[in-house]
Chain A
Amino acid sequence: MTNGSAMQWLVWKDFRMNRLIVFVGLILVAVPHTVALYAAWRGLGPPASEGVPPLAVFLCLSSLYGLALSEICLAFLGGNAIAGERADRSAEFLGYLPVARGRVLASKILAAAGIMALIWAPNLLILAASAWMVKPLGIGQRDLEFLWVALGNVAMTGLMFFCVAWLFSSILESPAIAACVGLITPFLLLGGLYWVSYLLDFPAEFNPAPWYCGLCLVLASLSFAAGTWYYLRRVEP
């Protein structure tokens, strides 16, 4: 890259700084598919029925696993967003250049969105194609509900990973610590939910999933707003 607007350069720079995360994300997505292909090649699993090859079933499942696994990249993207440049002190260099903080943040968000699109796009395509292929097997209402809940949980957990790590990235100098804080948050949240349900003697059929998703959204919004506010207010790089 030799020419381009300031925003293009900033996004390119942020994309390049997260190159390792892109690589790891693509591997995390590829691993379940590799296992699925191996299982289909070895003839494992149920025989083909209704003209649906076992590979389609495997790929449908591996896509979901790939999504769930690769969402940890969001924690690392959030953690690396601001603290990554502080850790190698390139934030100092950027700090002396005439670029508004808002633009710096916008480029980081765009780069993170682009990276997740790059990691997830092939996976979502495989999921859609394999879901279409397994359609003749007949998907019940419960299966669909399960799928939506699973996707909702994955999406909300990923969002929370990113936003909590983003908050700590704006405060700390260590991207690893910021990412780890993001990664442990769902466990703390789920633990808290079960603890509350136990203390308040919730009925046995209590389903924490909607609460979990809601709390994830609230926590993610608050963390993102706080991290952004802090970075914009902070004078030091």
Chain B
Amino acid sequence: MSTSSCCEPAIELVGLTKRFGATLAVDNLSLEVPRGSTLGLIGPNGAGKTTTIRILMGVLSPTAGDARVLGTSAVADPTRVKQRVGYVPEVQHIYRWMRVGQVIGFCRSLYQESWNEETCRSVLDLFALDPHKKVKHLSKGMLVKLSLLLAISHDPDVLVLDEPMSGLDPIAREEFLDGVLRTLCERGQTVLFSTHTLDDVQRMADTVAILYEGRLLVHGNIEQLVATTKRIRVVLANGSRPDQVPAGTVWDRLDGREWLLTVRDFAPEKAQQVRALGGVDHVEVIDLGLEDVFKDIVKGQRLKGVVQ
């Protein structure tokens, strides 16, 4: 169960499924995050990001499948997983009546030998957190920073961030990201973070996973995904949509004579295929950013759902 070796992935989700009554929150999700890499988990609200993370953290049992961290099953041995993972949730539920110093002492006692006092002190200074201040008197930004301090002070092998920056002002966001990036640079930890801010994904992550209705739609290198996903703008002669669409089309929309297609695994031949379709006046290939790629993939799935 806990056979950790250097070659196995830091995070491994195997056929992970979670049902809440009739709702399928996570649908047979399989995913691997190599050691030392950073994965951005993105998806619209209700995509199953938080559910996946909660299962990974051992606070939610899956209906089927397994979630492993460094070879340890979060289902079978959640306490061991928690020893090796630092976690920053979206909403902080730290004991509000405790002082910052007391929260740190409380967590230090639970992590025991793995607690790194030096890291704790340096992050405390970096974020200018007052140990004597009560948690209930901290601003949202400071609370998230405290949460990050607690998550990284035990030198975890894996850092999991679940939309920690939602609701933060730009300065607090920047300071939080600096703290995370500093940790990443210093220790080369594996990071999984979910967010709605795709700029953060592009800034921090090596790979991205797009979830939609509990299913994994895309998992891959960000640069490669952006480089191989293109929008094809087609001007049609008579405004009637051709019957055929190129392979790999994730989304398309017809607006008058303008036909927009977003195509994955783009190759110049695909543009040629479109040109070869009847009634095409003009074809133009447009580069996309990660945000557009994400939006088009999700919109395409929604349209599929409507059609079905």
Chain A residues with CB under 8 Å of chain B are 1-6, 8-9, 13, 16, 88-93, 95-100, 235-237
**Interchain CA distance A99-B81 in the complex, whole Å:** 11
**Contact assessment for A93 and B110 in the assembled complex, using a CB-CB cutoff below 8 Å:** no
**Contact assessment for A92 and B93 in the assembled complex, using a CB-CB cutoff below 8 Å:** yes
Determine whether B82 belongs to the interface, using a CB cutoff of 8 Å to chain A: yes
Tell me how far the C-beta of B246 lies from the nearest C-beta in chain A, rounded to whole angstroms: 46
Neighbour of B89 across the interface among A6, A96, A97, A98, CB < 8 A: A96
Tell me how far the C-beta of A83 lies from the nearest C-beta in chain B, rounded to whole angstroms: 15
Chain B residues with CB under 8 Å of chain A are 57-61, 78-80, 82-83, 87, 89, 91-98, 101-102, 105-107, 109-112
Given contacts A8-B109, A99-B79, contact A92 B95 (CB under 8 A): no
Neighbour of A96 across the interface among B61, B80, B82, B106, CB < 8 A: B82
Chain A contact residues, majority secondary structure: loop
**Contact assessment for A13 and B95 in the assembled complex, using a CB-CB cutoff below 8 Å:** yes
Q: Closest residue of chain A to B86, judged by CB? A: A96
Tell me how far the C-beta of B91 lies from the nearest C-beta in chain A, rounded to whole angstroms: 8
B78: A residues at CB distance < 8 A = 235
Q: List 17 A-B contacts (CB under 8 A).
A: A2-B105, A8-B109, A9-B105, A9-B109, A90-B96, A92-B89, A93-B94, A93-B95, A96-B59, A96-B87, A96-B89, A97-B82, A98-B82, A98-B111, A99-B79, A100-B79, A235-B61
**Contact assessment for B60 and A236 in the assembled complex, using a CB-CB cutoff below 8 Å:** yes
**Contact assessment for A97 and B97 in the assembled complex, using a CB-CB cutoff below 8 Å:** no
* Residue in A5, A89, A98 with the greatest tally of chain B CB atoms within 10 Å: A98
Given contacts A6-B112, A88-B96, A92-B93, contact A1 B105 (CB under 8 A): yes
Q: Which 7 A-B pairs have the closest CB atoms?
A: A98-B82, A235-B61, A89-B93, A98-B83, A6-B109, A92-B93, A93-B93
B109: A residues at CB distance < 8 A = 4-6, 8-9
**Interchain CA distance A98-B81 in the complex, whole Å:** 8
Tell me how far the C-beta of A105 lies from the nearest C-beta in chain B, rounded to whole angstroms: 14
